[in-house]
Amino acid sequence: MIVQRESINRFGKIFFTCLPVLMIILLISCSSHDRTVSPLMPQDPDSNLTPHSAALSEMSWKTFRGEARSYLKTRDILSGIMEEYKVSGASIVLTQWIFGRGPITYSFYIGVENPHTGKPIDGQTVFQAGRLGQPVFAFLVMKLYSEGRFDIDRPVFKYLPKHLPDYPAYQNLKSDSRYKRLTARRILSHQSGLVNSRLTHPEHRLTFETSPGKGFRYSEEGYRLLQFVLEHRFGQSLNDLAKSVVFDLLSMKDTSFVHEPRFEGHLAIANGGGDDSKNLASDVSKTFITNAKDYSNFMWPVLINGGTLDTFFCYPYFVPNVRVHSPMILEPPYPGDHPTIPKNLSWCLGWGIYKIPGSQPYFIGHRHQGIECYVTLSYSHWTAVSIFVAGNVQHSVTGRILREIVGEVETPLKWLGFEQTEDLK
């Protein structure tokens, strides 16, 4: 297995920093046995968790502040919010560990997936989720790392048969040797230093805005480069590789990094929004199609047991790699303190982590043409939430929905670009 001395030293520091959390995870995992294997147990997720509506009256969970939430009352409130904000439909899945009962999942399928056809949202409705593919992509890389097939600290150009600038898409880097310092760890934590998109350059050139490893600077070009390297290394498309390593493993049946014919008639469209997914080629930062059910199937095993990653490889995936000093996700870092920079915001591999009192939830979110996708998971509360909304192009509603699910908490939604109305957090 390929493990460098730098990785071992880094792991030693990470291990002793995270030892208390590790002990909690081990204790709970040992006591739960096989009950943690299926994140959507014990009911069928496609039938709102139970075949008998009478049982819904007994369903409740706890917010991050310990307040009880009723399934039926919350569903009524969410329906009212959707009507108020002219939301087409929503697919929401909450999974929470209830002590004495194990993981319980609550699913909400409300409204329609397409306002033009009136087709109701259900467990098969999929969303163009863009940025949400990044934690899945990072998990794929960590799985390959754990199997000794890829090293996240080896310069990625060394996996290619030719020098990186010899490929047409990367010829602009020929005069800049900094590409030799790009590793998967730096790319996945948005420390590649590459421009976010070459399309913003007057000549559509790929350039560095800063040196690799010099702080958080969001870059989709970095993720595209890593996709390019993986596809050449393994001789498979990203989607085929993800299917064999991640999707099949975690029962992500309705997830893909490409738009597939099977999604026809199941893709959510917002009020006033369009459908541009058919025009997107395979692109780890743009084309990611999934739904709340599948993403919960991904998050919950990762939350409980690392999604089959052992401890050595799990913690590099979750531990913060870099503090964030950008006022907004797509903006460059601010050189000093600034009131618009969220406090205690860091980036892991694919995920953001946001420190709030009593918790440090992981998150990722994407909003485009009225489609809103936001997911968060919390070790402190043993809770994973997936919110997928076919919303309204003018106003974001995710903040209101999240408040009803997990209570009144500070979130990084504004930092992610989810424009908020005055009554939203």
**Buried b vs exposed e over 176-194: b needs ≥16 C-beta within 10 Å?**
eeebebbbbbbbbbbbbbb
Of 367, 365, 319, 327, the closest CA to residue 343 belongs to 327
Whole-number Å distance between alpha carbons of 365 and 196:
17
Residue type, 60: S
Amino acid at 104: I
Closest CA to 225 of 175, 277, 178, 295: 178
Q: What span, in angstroms and rounded, lies between the C-alpha atoms of 116 and 132?
A: 26
CA distance 31 to 283: 41
Tell me: pLDDT of 283 over 70.
yes
290 belongs to a structural domain: yes
Tell whether the model's pLDDT for residue 86 goes beyond 90.
no
The answer to whether position 421 is within a domain reads no
State the Cα torsion 425-404-127-51 to the nearest 10°. 180
Q: Which 3 state secondary structure label does DSSP give 400? A: helix
Mean pLDDT of 326-343: 85
Domain that includes residue 340, residue range:
5-416
For residue 104, the Cα-to-chain-centroid distance in whole angstroms is 21
Using the predicted structure, report yes or no on whether residue 148 has a pLDDT greater than 70: yes
Flag whether 115 is in a domain.
yes
AA identity, residue 392? N
What's the pLDDT score for residue 8? Answer: 39
User: Does 423 fall in a domain?
Assistant: no
Q: Look at the block and give the residue holding tokens 């030693």.
A: 12
Give me the pLDDT at residue 302, please.
87
**pLDDT over 60 at 53, yes or no:** no
Q: Which helix (H) or strand (E) holds 406?
A: helix 398-406
In a domain, 424, yes or no: no
- Provide DSSP, 96-156: EEETTTEEEEEEEEEEEEETTTTEEP-TT-BEE-GGGHHHHHHHHHHHHHHTTS--TTSBG
Alpha-carbon distance of 279 to 284, in angstroms, equals: 14
- Residue 425 in domain: no
Tell me whether residue 131 is in a domain.
yes
At 168, the pLDDT band (50, 70, 90 cuts) reads very high
pLDDT of 372 higher than 50: yes
Residue 192 is part of a domain; what is its CATH number? 3.40.710.10
Count of domains in the chain? 1
Q: Determine the Cα–Cα distance for residues 273 and 279; give it in Å rounded to an integer.
A: 15
pLDDT tens string 347-364: 999 999 999 888 899 999
What is the model's pLDDT at position 16? Answer: 41
422 within domain boundaries = no
